[in-house]
Each structure stands twice: as structure tokens, then as C-alpha cells.
A and B are shown apart, each in its own frame.
Chain A
């Protein structure tokens, strides 16, 4: 096992990459855990500051102002787009509405009835849009015999739904911790990709150096045995790196593993690690350039994290981004973490997809390795 032993020795020379990424990651996880512990469940209802100009002044438009006034602060503003946008930018307003003179008619015709100014980056804007939409849809629905039924509209707007919380899984009583574990493991995908490609890539550059490879090829060590030890080294390194992050979650929140779907995270990260190991195998057979490996490590880890829902939740991502994300295992890894499961059957598709990606990467890697293996 000389090759294996020295593969691991060379890998340890790159320990600073592993240590650097792990330390940063665990620090962020600790900070995240502290914040999550104090704020996560303390939902506070906040009023939005909404600027309104009512140019219509009809019963329907006054109704909209009144409806918004029930849960928000209404501010007087002037009808100047620059001024309104500035107020929103300065966060003096969460949004602004200008009701036009033909408001009623536009509602009847289901046209865009108001001018809405908002900051899309803020969740309040999303909520304001929802409230306005709700009012306009209901108003349109109550229009009959050339008049809006304002009583029905108010009654519909005030209707509340009764929500009964059903506990779906025995023993899972700590949703705050589930969110922490979900976020933690989502972020491991980024770290695993970056570290696997960077570290294994760097070691393989050395082992795949043409001059050294020739030297190994003329030795009496069988090619099969040589490659087996190198691949065993890669697998061990992969297991070692993934274990660091699993261990990290146990050290930080180990006492809660009984309260979250820990086995789901374990199976998911194991399958994901396999897929990324195969991806690393492919990359190592495509290039021997240090620069390219570092580039791929950064671009793929960050890029897939952005479009797969690690950095931004999947529900906020565009359809196009998600469609692209489906061509890489991270999407399926995150999908599993985001979901509460009844049994492993619920996530078999996502697990299978990750496995499939791994196998495809492996086969592609073998295809590109063919000339070298044949030589």
C-alpha cells in the first residue's frame, strides 16, 4: 500500500485548504446557530409604511386605502416618481401606490389597475403586492350589475382560514433545529465541491505528472494495483473531508440529532459525496492544470450553490435557473434537505438522480482516461 500511503501524505500537504474551508464554514455555522437560537421563532408582526395617492377617490379606491390601513401605516406622498423611488430606496417607505382616475374601470376590465412602487429585494414588498392583488381580485369578483358589492368584498377580505397543525412525524418536535441542520447541510454542498475538487485535484496533478507517471509505469507495480491504491486514496480523502463536516454538525448540535431527520441528512450527504467524488474524477481526467482546477473548484461550487438553492432558497429562484440547476447533483441534494420526509421512499428520486449523475461522471471520466490507461 505504498502508493496509498504516499497519496495520503501528499494530500495532507494540502491540509491548509481543508482547514481553511472547514474553519470558515464551522465559524459561520456557529454564528448562524447563535442567531437561530435567539430569533428564529420570534415572529413579530410589523406594519408596512405605504405611500398612497388616490386620484380616483371612489368607494372602491377608498376601500383599498382602508383595507391597507388596517394593518399598515399610510403615508402622504407627492406624485413624483423620483421622489417615491428615493423614499423607497431610503427605506422611508416599504412601497407606494398610485390609484389612477380610471381605477374602477380597470378593475372591472381586469387590467393593471394601480401603479405599484416597491423594492423587490425586501420581503415587505412581496407582502404588499399580495395584499393589493388580493383586494383587486376579490373586488372584481364582487362586481355585478354595474356596482361593486363592498360588503361582500369586506367580508371576503376578513375571512380567516382555520389552520390545524398536524404533527407528521413522531419525535420531530424541534423545527428550529431542523432549519439549522437544513441550512448547515445545504452549505456543506458548497464546501464539499470546493474542497474535493481543490484537494483531490492538487494531489492528482502530482500523481498524474507525465514524468512521474512514466516512472511508475516502468515499475513492477501492476497498473491495476497502482490505480486501485490511487482511487482508494481518493475515496478515503472524500470520506475524511465529508466526515469533518458531519462531525462539525455533531459537535455543534449533536444533542438535537434525535429531534431532526438526521438519517436523511446522512444518506443524502453520503450519496452527494459519491456524486462529487465522481465529478472530481472526471475533472482530473480532463485537465492537469493547477489553474484550471482552482478555477473549476471556485466556479462550480459557487455557481451551483447559487442556482440550486444553497445561497438563495429554491422558491425564490427563477424557473430558468432551476432548470439549469437540475443538471447538477446539488439541486437534488438541496431538494432533499429542504423537505420533511415520511420515509426514504419520499426522496428516492432525488437520491437516484444524484447516483445517476455520479455514474455518468464516472463513465465520462473513464472515457477521457482511456488514452492514458491504454498507453
Chain B
């Protein structure tokens, strides 16, 4: 294990930010720390990095106990904070060089690493720019470059795609995959489930400072009873239709959202044919009908009773 967090408790007076939070990260993987805003993701990362003290628990990074003066461990860690943290009065290149200089003393090696980081985030055309002249997406890239320039073995990325346009988001996600391919282990916090599904080898779902479940995308989905969702819209209103749909075999829940009926099934076999049979029997006309496999949001919903973005 490259990171091992055991029973971490962090309190802010009455508020429990981390409630016996545990997590393990394997070398070479991208671990997603998924949870709604305010669930304790950033607090967990700050505790792991010794930026915050904690009340109880243990943190091991790279096989050693993590402390504020564990400089040999810190040398191998990179962090990309949630908010852009760069010097406004230094240019793109100077910023990257500054943060590289905090890790690397050798000048020629530093120069080489800085060039590589600039190439990696594709900021070559902006090296002389001050951050205030950069767009939000370019600032995010600079923020990433400052965190990875020293080629860390373990990288923490705290919601790096928040408030970023779609193009920059794809660029960032591709970059993260590339970093992982080059050998870095990545801990990626997000509240975007699509990103976690697409990017992460394993996912830890958090809520209220607790780690609810962890596993691969498939493992998590297999943990819940819902195996299929069918979304259907009818052209006419029909009283009591929800109750009648509930009588179709294997249906476990029917909800209505903006005129669409969302039907959850606990068994993935013949569900659409059963539903179509029901529609014909009741002389209903549908305008939309499609089937969906459960998402991480469904996993979260079933575990907590609320959606990830509630």
C-alpha cells in the first residue's frame, strides 16, 4: 500500500469532519475519492498530507508514518489543490520553477523538469504570462504543472476540474491518465461521478466524514440491488399508473421526475419486454423509452438515501 489511512478522526469543536475514516491506496492506481461537497474529502487529504492535525487515527504514506517533518516522504508527493495556488506576480515559467525549486536543488535537472512540465500542460505559448492574464482553464493547467513538476510518485488532485470548461476538463483528465501511465499513483477527489467512473481504477465513496464503501466501479455497482433502470415517458396522464407499474415483475421502485417515470429493477432479464407488454395491455403510448445500467449516483443514493449533488 502506498497510502494507508486508519480510523482517522478530525473534529472542529462540535463538528466531526472525519469520522473514523479509513482508506488504502495501491501503488500505480488512480483512486477516486468521491462524495458530495462538504463530505470531508479535502479534510481527509489535508490530514494525510499533515497540513491538518487530527484527533485520532494513523496515516502511513510510502510505508512510513506521515508527519509534518517527514521531508523524505514529501519529496515523493505532489499536490494540486482545489483552488489555484500560484504567485500572481510571477510568470507561468517562474511559478513552475519556484515550486520545482522547493524539491529539486540541481539547477540543470530543475530546468529540464520545468520544460517537461510546461510541455505536459501545453503552456509553452504562455510561459511569460502572469496568471491574471490566463483564462480559468489555463490557470488550472498551471496549478497542475506546479504540483507535478518534480515528478512525484504519489499525486493528490483535489477537484482539479471544478469551474473548468469542457475542453480544459478533457485536457486535464487525459493528463491525469498520462501521469498514471508514466508511473504515478493518483488520489483524485471529485464530486463528479462521471469523472470518477471514467478515470479511476478504484473508488472510495465518502459522506459525512465517513468512508461508506470502496471498490472498483463494477464492484460498487454490484453492491446495490438495482441492476437496471428504465426511463419511460407517456403521451397521456393516467391516474394510478405508478402503482400498476410497481406490479411488473422485479420492479423495486418507481419515481417520477419531470414527467419521466424512472423504474428500477432488481433483475436485469426481460425487463424491457415486461414493460412493453404492460404498455400494450394498458393501451398506453410512449414518447421515450430507454434502459440504463446503474450509475455511481445510484450506488450513493442507495447507500445514503440522497443523490451526490443534493
Contacts and interface: CB of A to CB of B under 8 A. Distances in A.
Contacts of B87: 6, 10, 206, 212
A215 B90 contact: no
B71 A222 contact: yes
Interface string A218-229: 111111001000
Nearest to B95: A6
A113 B66 CA distance: 86
SS of B interface (majority): loop
Contacts of A214: 46, 51, 81, 85
Interface in B68-107: 68-69, 71-72, 74-75, 77, 79, 81, 83-90, 94, 97-99, 101-103
B146 interface: yes
B157 interface: no
A10 B89 CA distance: 6
Nearest to A224: B69
A223 B69 contact: yes
Contacts of B79: 215, 218
A206 B86 CA distance: 9
A223 B89 CA distance: 23
Given A2-B102, A206-B87, A219-B102, A9 B94 contact: yes
SS of A interface (majority): helix
B59 interface: no
Contacts of A13: 89
Contacts of B94: 6, 9
B25 interface: no
Contacts of B51: 214, 217-218
Contact of B75 (A5, A10, A220): A220
B71 A220 contact: yes
A2 B89 contact: no
Interface in B151-196: none
Contacts of B75: 220
Nearest to A6: B98
Interface string B30-58: 00000000000000001001110000000
A266 to B, nearest CB: 33
A199 to B, nearest CB: 12
Given A2-B101, A216-B102, A219-B99, A209 B85 contact: yes
A371 to B, nearest CB: 12
B88 A206 contact: yes
Q: Looking at A13, A214, A222, which has the most chain B CB atoms within 10 Å of its CB?
A: A214
Given A2-B98, A6-B98, A218 B90 contact: no
Contacts of A64: none
A159 interface: no
Contact of B74 (A3, A10, A212, A220): A220
Nearest to A5: B101
B89 A206 contact: yes
Contacts of A218: 49-51, 74, 77, 79
Contacts of B89: 9-10, 13, 206
Contacts of A215: 79, 81, 85, 99, 146-147
B2 to A, nearest CB: 16
B102 A220 contact: yes
B50 to A, nearest CB: 8
A227 to B, nearest CB: 13
A226 B103 CA distance: 12
Nearest to B50: A218
Contacts of B103: 219-221
Interface in B221-260: none
A206 B49 CA distance: 22
B74 A219 contact: yes
Nearest to B130: A13
Nearest to A219: B102
A217 B49 CA distance: 9
A160 interface: no
13 contacts: A9-B94, A10-B89, A206-B87, A211-B81, A211-B84, A215-B146, A216-B102, A218-B49, A218-B77, A219-B103, A220-B71, A220-B75, A220-B103
Interface of B: 46, 49-51, 68-69, 71-72, 74-75, 77, 79, 81, 83-90, 94, 97-99, 101-103, 146-147
Interface of A: 2-3, 5-6, 9-10, 13, 206, 209, 211-212, 214-223, 226
Given A212-B86, A218-B79, 15 more contacts: A6-B94, A9-B90, A10-B90, A206-B87, A206-B89, A212-B85, A214-B81, A215-B79, A218-B50, A218-B74, A220-B71, A220-B72, A220-B74, A220-B102, A221-B102
